[in-house]
Amino acid sequence: MANNATSGDYKSVPNDEQDIVQVKKALATGTGAETAPPQNAMFPILAYCGASILMTVVNKFCLSGRGFSMNFLLLGIQSVVCVICVAVSKKLGLISFRDYDNADAKKWFPISCLLVGVIYTGSKSLQFLSIPVYTIFKNLTIILIAYGEVIWFGGRVTSLTLVSFVIMVLSSIIAAWSDISQSIETLHAAWSATGVIPPDTPALTSRAGYLWMLVNCLTTAAYVLSMRKRIKLTGFKDWDTMFYNNLLSIPVLIVFSLLIEDWGAENLNRNFPPDTRNVLLFAIVFSGAAAVGISYTTAWCVRTTSSTTYSMVGALNKLPVAASGMVFFGDPVNVGSVSAVTTGFIAGIVYAIAKNNQKKEDALRERGDGIIPLHARRP
Protein backbone atom coordinates (compact mmCIF):
# COMPACT_ATOMS: atom_id res chain seq x y z
CA MET A 1 0.00 0.00 0.00
CA ALA A 2 1.33 3.41 -0.95
CA ASN A 3 0.86 5.24 2.30
CA ASN A 4 3.03 8.16 1.22
CA ALA A 5 1.90 8.46 -2.39
CA THR A 6 2.82 11.77 -3.96
CA SER A 7 0.88 13.67 -6.60
CA GLY A 8 3.15 12.16 -9.25
CA ASP A 9 2.61 8.48 -8.46
CA TYR A 10 -0.91 8.76 -7.02
CA LYS A 11 -2.64 7.88 -10.30
CA SER A 12 -0.86 4.53 -10.43
CA VAL A 13 -2.46 3.41 -7.15
CA PRO A 14 -5.54 1.12 -7.51
CA ASN A 15 -8.95 2.70 -6.81
CA ASP A 16 -9.46 1.10 -3.38
CA GLU A 17 -6.03 2.22 -2.27
CA GLN A 18 -6.63 5.70 -3.68
CA ASP A 19 -9.53 6.02 -1.24
CA ILE A 20 -7.30 4.93 1.63
CA VAL A 21 -4.61 7.41 0.64
CA GLN A 22 -7.23 10.18 0.38
CA VAL A 23 -8.62 9.33 3.81
CA LYS A 24 -5.16 9.41 5.36
CA LYS A 25 -4.40 12.75 3.70
CA ALA A 26 -7.65 14.26 5.00
CA LEU A 27 -7.10 12.85 8.46
CA ALA A 28 -3.51 14.01 8.58
CA THR A 29 -4.45 17.61 7.90
CA GLY A 30 -7.96 17.68 9.32
CA THR A 31 -9.21 19.10 6.02
CA GLY A 32 -11.08 17.80 3.01
CA ALA A 33 -11.65 18.66 -0.60
CA GLU A 34 -14.58 20.80 -1.66
CA THR A 35 -15.52 18.20 -4.23
CA ALA A 36 -15.03 14.47 -4.08
CA PRO A 37 -16.41 11.34 -5.71
CA PRO A 38 -19.86 10.51 -4.30
CA GLN A 39 -19.36 6.75 -4.02
CA ASN A 40 -19.57 5.23 -0.52
CA ALA A 41 -20.54 8.62 0.95
CA MET A 42 -23.24 7.02 3.09
CA PHE A 43 -20.72 5.26 5.32
CA PRO A 44 -18.78 8.36 6.47
CA ILE A 45 -22.04 10.33 6.89
CA LEU A 46 -23.49 7.60 9.09
CA ALA A 47 -20.19 7.33 10.97
CA TYR A 48 -20.15 11.07 11.67
CA CYS A 49 -23.78 11.09 12.83
CA GLY A 50 -23.18 8.01 14.98
CA ALA A 51 -20.07 9.53 16.58
CA SER A 52 -21.92 12.75 17.44
CA ILE A 53 -24.88 10.92 18.98
CA LEU A 54 -22.59 8.51 20.83
CA MET A 55 -20.51 11.34 22.31
CA THR A 56 -23.58 13.22 23.57
CA VAL A 57 -25.29 10.14 25.01
CA VAL A 58 -22.14 8.85 26.75
CA ASN A 59 -21.41 12.27 28.28
CA LYS A 60 -25.00 12.54 29.49
CA PHE A 61 -24.71 9.06 31.03
CA CYS A 62 -21.46 10.01 32.82
CA LEU A 63 -22.96 13.23 34.19
CA SER A 64 -26.42 11.97 35.08
CA GLY A 65 -25.41 10.12 38.24
CA ARG A 66 -27.21 11.30 41.35
CA GLY A 67 -25.21 14.14 42.90
CA PHE A 68 -22.26 13.89 40.47
CA SER A 69 -19.94 16.80 41.23
CA MET A 70 -16.45 15.92 39.96
CA ASN A 71 -16.70 17.44 36.47
CA PHE A 72 -13.09 18.63 36.39
CA LEU A 73 -11.84 15.12 37.15
CA LEU A 74 -14.08 13.65 34.45
CA LEU A 75 -12.86 16.18 31.88
CA GLY A 76 -9.24 15.59 32.92
CA ILE A 77 -9.57 11.84 32.32
CA GLN A 78 -11.18 12.50 28.94
CA SER A 79 -8.32 14.82 27.92
CA VAL A 80 -5.68 12.28 28.95
CA VAL A 81 -7.42 9.57 26.93
CA CYS A 82 -7.74 11.90 23.95
CA VAL A 83 -4.01 12.75 23.98
CA ILE A 84 -3.09 9.07 24.23
CA CYS A 85 -5.39 8.20 21.31
CA VAL A 86 -4.03 10.86 18.96
CA ALA A 87 -0.44 10.02 19.95
CA VAL A 88 -1.03 6.32 19.19
CA SER A 89 -2.78 7.22 15.92
CA LYS A 90 0.21 9.32 14.90
CA LYS A 91 2.56 6.46 15.80
CA LEU A 92 0.53 4.12 13.57
CA GLY A 93 0.68 6.62 10.71
CA LEU A 94 -3.07 7.27 10.63
CA ILE A 95 -2.76 11.00 11.33
CA SER A 96 -0.01 13.60 11.41
CA PHE A 97 0.53 16.66 13.60
CA ARG A 98 3.49 18.73 14.70
CA ASP A 99 5.59 17.69 17.67
CA TYR A 100 5.27 19.52 20.98
CA ASP A 101 7.01 22.91 21.03
CA ASN A 102 7.26 25.25 24.04
CA ALA A 103 6.84 28.39 21.91
CA ASP A 104 3.63 27.04 20.36
CA ALA A 105 2.41 25.92 23.78
CA LYS A 106 2.85 29.42 25.24
CA LYS A 107 0.90 30.94 22.35
CA TRP A 108 -1.88 28.38 22.62
CA PHE A 109 -2.24 28.10 26.41
CA PRO A 110 -4.83 30.93 26.74
CA ILE A 111 -6.98 29.14 24.14
CA SER A 112 -6.75 25.91 26.13
CA CYS A 113 -7.88 27.76 29.25
CA LEU A 114 -10.92 29.05 27.35
CA LEU A 115 -11.59 25.51 26.17
CA VAL A 116 -11.60 24.32 29.78
CA GLY A 117 -14.31 26.88 30.45
CA VAL A 118 -16.26 25.69 27.41
CA ILE A 119 -16.21 21.99 28.26
CA TYR A 120 -16.80 22.57 31.99
CA THR A 121 -19.82 24.85 31.52
CA GLY A 122 -21.08 22.51 28.80
CA SER A 123 -20.83 19.51 31.12
CA LYS A 124 -22.63 21.41 33.91
CA SER A 125 -25.47 22.48 31.62
CA LEU A 126 -25.78 18.95 30.19
CA GLN A 127 -25.88 17.66 33.76
CA PHE A 128 -28.99 19.74 34.56
CA LEU A 129 -30.75 19.98 31.17
CA SER A 130 -32.20 17.32 28.91
CA ILE A 131 -30.36 16.48 25.70
CA PRO A 132 -33.02 18.08 23.41
CA VAL A 133 -33.00 21.36 25.37
CA TYR A 134 -29.19 21.38 25.51
CA THR A 135 -28.91 20.71 21.76
CA ILE A 136 -31.39 23.45 20.86
CA PHE A 137 -29.79 26.09 23.07
CA LYS A 138 -26.34 25.37 21.60
CA ASN A 139 -27.72 26.96 18.42
CA LEU A 140 -27.63 30.35 20.15
CA THR A 141 -23.83 30.14 20.16
CA ILE A 142 -23.92 30.36 16.36
CA ILE A 143 -25.59 33.77 16.62
CA LEU A 144 -22.96 35.09 19.05
CA ILE A 145 -20.11 33.83 16.87
CA ALA A 146 -21.65 35.30 13.71
CA TYR A 147 -21.97 38.78 15.16
CA GLY A 148 -18.55 38.48 16.78
CA GLU A 149 -17.12 37.87 13.32
CA VAL A 150 -18.97 40.95 12.04
CA ILE A 151 -17.39 43.08 14.78
CA TRP A 152 -13.83 41.69 14.81
CA PHE A 153 -13.27 40.15 11.38
CA GLY A 154 -15.42 42.21 9.05
CA GLY A 155 -17.89 39.41 8.45
CA ARG A 156 -21.44 39.90 7.28
CA VAL A 157 -24.87 38.46 8.04
CA THR A 158 -27.13 37.85 5.05
CA SER A 159 -30.92 38.11 5.11
CA LEU A 160 -31.34 34.31 5.00
CA THR A 161 -28.83 33.91 7.86
CA LEU A 162 -30.84 36.42 9.87
CA VAL A 163 -34.00 34.38 9.22
CA SER A 164 -32.25 31.28 10.55
CA PHE A 165 -31.24 33.21 13.69
CA VAL A 166 -34.86 34.21 14.30
CA ILE A 167 -35.94 30.57 13.96
CA MET A 168 -33.14 29.51 16.35
CA VAL A 169 -34.34 31.97 18.99
CA LEU A 170 -37.92 30.79 18.46
CA SER A 171 -36.91 27.14 18.93
CA SER A 172 -35.08 28.03 22.15
CA ILE A 173 -38.14 29.86 23.50
CA ILE A 174 -40.33 26.85 22.69
CA ALA A 175 -37.82 24.48 24.29
CA ALA A 176 -37.54 26.57 27.46
CA TRP A 177 -41.33 26.93 27.71
CA SER A 178 -41.84 23.19 27.28
CA ASP A 179 -39.09 22.34 29.78
CA ILE A 180 -40.35 24.80 32.40
CA SER A 181 -43.96 23.62 31.99
CA GLN A 182 -42.87 20.00 32.42
CA SER A 183 -40.84 20.97 35.51
CA ILE A 184 -43.81 22.78 37.07
CA GLU A 185 -46.00 19.70 36.53
CA THR A 186 -43.36 17.51 38.18
CA LEU A 187 -43.04 19.92 41.11
CA HIS A 188 -46.83 20.04 41.59
CA ALA A 189 -47.06 16.24 41.49
CA ALA A 190 -44.27 15.89 44.09
CA TRP A 191 -45.90 18.45 46.37
CA SER A 192 -49.33 16.83 46.07
CA ALA A 193 -47.96 13.35 46.81
CA THR A 194 -45.59 14.04 49.72
CA GLY A 195 -45.91 17.69 50.67
CA VAL A 196 -42.13 17.97 50.20
CA ILE A 197 -40.17 19.30 47.22
CA PRO A 198 -36.95 17.26 46.68
CA PRO A 199 -33.85 19.43 46.05
CA ASP A 200 -33.20 17.63 42.75
CA THR A 201 -36.66 18.37 41.34
CA PRO A 202 -36.30 19.44 37.67
CA ALA A 203 -38.11 22.72 38.38
CA LEU A 204 -35.22 23.70 40.65
CA THR A 205 -32.26 22.15 38.82
CA SER A 206 -33.28 23.42 35.37
CA ARG A 207 -32.77 27.02 36.50
CA ALA A 208 -29.12 26.23 37.21
CA GLY A 209 -28.94 24.44 33.85
CA TYR A 210 -30.10 27.52 31.94
CA LEU A 211 -27.56 29.69 33.76
CA TRP A 212 -24.74 27.26 32.89
CA MET A 213 -26.05 27.15 29.30
CA LEU A 214 -25.85 30.95 29.03
CA VAL A 215 -22.29 30.97 30.33
CA ASN A 216 -21.42 28.11 27.97
CA CYS A 217 -22.73 30.01 24.93
CA LEU A 218 -20.72 33.12 25.84
CA THR A 219 -17.57 31.12 26.60
CA THR A 220 -17.86 29.07 23.42
CA ALA A 221 -18.19 32.20 21.29
CA ALA A 222 -15.12 33.74 22.98
CA TYR A 223 -13.19 30.50 22.46
CA VAL A 224 -14.02 30.17 18.76
CA LEU A 225 -13.32 33.81 17.95
CA SER A 226 -10.06 33.84 19.92
CA MET A 227 -8.94 30.57 18.36
CA ARG A 228 -9.50 31.99 14.89
CA LYS A 229 -7.02 34.77 15.63
CA ARG A 230 -4.52 32.47 17.33
CA ILE A 231 -4.49 29.94 14.49
CA LYS A 232 -3.11 32.64 12.20
CA LEU A 233 -0.14 33.05 14.55
CA THR A 234 0.61 29.35 14.97
CA GLY A 235 -0.53 27.94 11.63
CA PHE A 236 -2.18 25.01 13.41
CA LYS A 237 -4.15 22.39 11.49
CA ASP A 238 -7.09 20.54 13.04
CA TRP A 239 -5.05 17.70 14.56
CA ASP A 240 -2.48 20.18 15.94
CA THR A 241 -5.36 22.03 17.58
CA MET A 242 -6.81 18.87 19.11
CA PHE A 243 -3.42 17.73 20.44
CA TYR A 244 -2.45 21.06 22.03
CA ASN A 245 -5.96 21.77 23.34
CA ASN A 246 -6.16 18.49 25.23
CA LEU A 247 -2.51 18.36 26.32
CA LEU A 248 -2.46 21.90 27.74
CA SER A 249 -5.86 21.55 29.39
CA ILE A 250 -4.76 18.54 31.49
CA PRO A 251 -2.75 20.49 34.13
CA VAL A 252 -5.48 23.16 34.35
CA LEU A 253 -8.18 20.55 34.90
CA ILE A 254 -6.12 18.68 37.50
CA VAL A 255 -5.35 21.86 39.46
CA PHE A 256 -9.00 22.96 39.49
CA SER A 257 -10.10 19.47 40.47
CA LEU A 258 -7.68 19.39 43.43
CA LEU A 259 -8.57 22.93 44.55
CA ILE A 260 -12.34 22.93 44.08
CA GLU A 261 -13.61 19.36 44.13
CA ASP A 262 -13.95 17.19 47.22
CA TRP A 263 -11.54 14.25 47.06
CA GLY A 264 -12.76 12.74 50.33
CA ALA A 265 -13.66 9.05 50.43
CA GLU A 266 -17.35 9.81 51.00
CA ASN A 267 -17.63 12.11 47.98
CA LEU A 268 -15.66 9.73 45.74
CA ASN A 269 -18.05 6.91 46.68
CA ARG A 270 -21.01 9.18 45.96
CA ASN A 271 -19.66 10.17 42.53
CA PHE A 272 -18.39 6.69 41.69
CA PRO A 273 -20.70 4.22 43.47
CA PRO A 274 -19.07 0.80 43.95
CA ASP A 275 -21.88 -1.01 42.09
CA THR A 276 -21.50 1.13 38.92
CA ARG A 277 -17.90 2.33 39.28
CA ASN A 278 -16.34 0.14 36.60
CA VAL A 279 -19.08 0.92 34.07
CA LEU A 280 -18.82 4.65 34.78
CA LEU A 281 -15.02 4.73 34.47
CA PHE A 282 -15.22 2.77 31.22
CA ALA A 283 -17.80 5.25 29.90
CA ILE A 284 -15.56 8.21 30.80
CA VAL A 285 -12.56 6.64 29.04
CA PHE A 286 -14.74 5.74 26.07
CA SER A 287 -16.04 9.32 25.81
CA GLY A 288 -12.47 10.59 25.59
CA ALA A 289 -11.81 8.24 22.68
CA ALA A 290 -15.14 9.27 21.11
CA ALA A 291 -13.88 12.86 20.88
CA VAL A 292 -11.13 11.63 18.59
CA GLY A 293 -13.72 9.64 16.67
CA ILE A 294 -15.69 12.81 15.92
CA SER A 295 -12.60 14.48 14.42
CA TYR A 296 -11.82 11.32 12.45
CA THR A 297 -15.32 10.98 11.01
CA THR A 298 -15.55 14.73 10.33
CA ALA A 299 -12.46 14.61 8.11
CA TRP A 300 -13.74 11.44 6.44
CA CYS A 301 -17.18 12.94 5.82
CA VAL A 302 -15.78 16.13 4.26
CA ARG A 303 -13.30 14.17 2.13
CA THR A 304 -15.84 11.77 0.63
CA THR A 305 -18.69 14.25 0.14
CA SER A 306 -18.15 18.03 0.19
CA SER A 307 -18.20 20.87 2.69
CA THR A 308 -21.75 21.66 1.53
CA THR A 309 -22.98 18.14 2.28
CA TYR A 310 -21.10 18.12 5.57
CA SER A 311 -22.72 21.36 6.74
CA MET A 312 -26.15 19.99 5.82
CA VAL A 313 -25.43 16.74 7.67
CA GLY A 314 -24.43 18.79 10.72
CA ALA A 315 -27.75 20.63 10.56
CA LEU A 316 -29.80 17.45 10.08
CA ASN A 317 -27.84 15.68 12.82
CA LYS A 318 -29.49 17.79 15.53
CA LEU A 319 -32.71 15.82 15.14
CA PRO A 320 -31.30 12.34 15.95
CA VAL A 321 -29.10 13.81 18.71
CA ALA A 322 -32.14 15.35 20.38
CA ALA A 323 -34.16 12.18 19.80
CA SER A 324 -31.42 10.13 21.49
CA GLY A 325 -32.19 11.90 24.78
CA MET A 326 -35.84 10.91 24.48
CA VAL A 327 -34.91 7.30 23.71
CA PHE A 328 -32.08 6.67 26.18
CA PHE A 329 -32.87 9.02 29.08
CA GLY A 330 -36.65 9.31 29.03
CA ASP A 331 -36.64 13.01 28.18
CA PRO A 332 -40.22 14.33 27.77
CA VAL A 333 -41.92 13.57 24.46
CA ASN A 334 -44.78 16.03 24.14
CA VAL A 335 -46.06 18.66 21.72
CA GLY A 336 -43.73 21.32 23.16
CA SER A 337 -40.53 19.26 23.05
CA VAL A 338 -41.22 17.85 19.58
CA SER A 339 -42.11 21.35 18.27
CA ALA A 340 -38.89 22.78 19.74
CA VAL A 341 -36.72 20.06 18.21
CA THR A 342 -38.46 20.39 14.83
CA THR A 343 -38.07 24.18 14.83
CA GLY A 344 -34.40 23.87 15.78
CA PHE A 345 -34.00 21.30 13.01
CA ILE A 346 -35.46 23.73 10.46
CA ALA A 347 -33.23 26.54 11.80
CA GLY A 348 -30.16 24.36 11.25
CA ILE A 349 -31.14 23.62 7.65
CA VAL A 350 -31.84 27.29 6.86
CA TYR A 351 -28.52 28.31 8.44
CA ALA A 352 -26.59 25.67 6.46
CA ILE A 353 -28.21 26.84 3.20
CA ALA A 354 -27.49 30.49 4.05
CA LYS A 355 -23.81 29.80 4.81
CA ASN A 356 -23.36 27.79 1.61
CA ASN A 357 -24.97 30.56 -0.46
CA GLN A 358 -22.76 33.12 1.24
CA LYS A 359 -19.68 31.03 0.52
CA LYS A 360 -20.56 30.91 -3.18
CA GLU A 361 -21.13 34.68 -3.27
CA ASP A 362 -17.79 35.31 -1.56
CA ALA A 363 -16.03 33.01 -4.04
CA LEU A 364 -17.55 34.90 -6.98
CA ARG A 365 -16.58 38.22 -5.40
CA GLU A 366 -13.00 37.05 -4.91
CA ARG A 367 -12.79 36.07 -8.58
CA GLY A 368 -14.37 39.39 -9.57
CA ASP A 369 -17.00 37.82 -11.81
CA GLY A 370 -18.82 41.06 -12.51
CA ILE A 371 -19.92 41.54 -8.90
CA ILE A 372 -19.46 44.99 -7.45
CA PRO A 373 -18.99 44.99 -3.65
CA LEU A 374 -21.60 46.99 -1.78
CA HIS A 375 -19.15 47.89 0.98
CA ALA A 376 -15.43 48.04 1.49
CA ARG A 377 -13.86 44.84 2.73
CA ARG A 378 -11.65 45.10 5.76
CA PRO A 379 -8.01 44.12 5.30
Q: What is the pLDDT of residue 81?
A: 92
Task: Answer whether 67's CB lies under 8 Å from 274's CB.
Answer: no
Residue 315, pLDDT above cutoff 70:
no
Which of 337 and 197 is assigned the larger pLDDT?
A: 337
Q: What is the pLDDT of residue 206?
A: 63
Q: What is the pLDDT of residue 255?
A: 92
Q: What is the pLDDT of residue 80?
A: 93
Q: Which of 110-114, 313-317, 352-356, 366-370 shows the lowest mean pLDDT across its residues? A: 366-370
Residue 371, pLDDT above cutoff 50:
no
Task: Answer whether 121's CB lies under 8 Å from 129's CB.
Answer: no
Distance CA 377, CA 76 (A): 42
Mean pLDDT, the chain, rounded, equals 75
Q: Which of 39-53, 154-168, 186-200 shows the lowest mean pLDDT across its residues? A: 186-200
Q: What is the pLDDT of residue 32?
A: 45
Q: pLDDT band at 18, cuts 50/70/90?
A: very low
Residue 264, pLDDT above cutoff 50:
yes
State the DSSP H helix or E strand holding residue 206, giving kind and residue range, or none if neither: helix 202-234
Average confidence (pLDDT) over 170-189: 72
Task: Answer whether 225's CB lies under 8 Å from 148's CB.
Answer: yes
Q: What is the pLDDT of residue 336?
A: 74
Average confidence (pLDDT) over 56-67: 77
Average confidence (pLDDT) over 60-86: 85
Q: What is the pLDDT of residue 218?
A: 92
Q: Give the pLDDT confidence of 96-125 residue by residue, as tens digits.
A: 888 898 988 888 899 889 988 988 898 888
Q: Give the pLDDT confidence of 78-100 residue by residue, as tens digits.
A: 899 999 999 998 999 888 888 89
**264 CB-near residues (< 8 Å, 6+ apart):** none
Residue type present at position 67: G
Distance CA 379, CA 376 (A): 9
Q: Which of 26-40, 45-59, 187-201, 284-298 shows the lowest mean pLDDT across its residues? A: 26-40
CA dihedral (256, 67, 270, 63) in degrees, to 10, reads -70
Average confidence (pLDDT) over 38-61: 77
Which of 203 and 7 is assigned the larger pLDDT?
A: 203
Residue 333, pLDDT above cutoff 80:
no
35: helix, strand or coil: coil
Residue type present at position 110: P
**371 CB-near residues (< 8 Å, 6+ apart):** 361, 364, 365
Residue 137, pLDDT above cutoff 70:
yes
Q: pLDDT band at 195, cuts 50/70/90?
A: low
Q: What is the pLDDT of residue 37?
A: 42
Which of 278 and 376 is assigned the larger pLDDT?
A: 278
Q: What is the pLDDT of residue 307?
A: 56
Average confidence (pLDDT) over 158-182: 82
Q: pLDDT band at 59, cuts 50/70/90?
A: confident
Share of the chain above pLDDT 90, in %: 10
Residue 251, pLDDT above cutoff 50:
yes
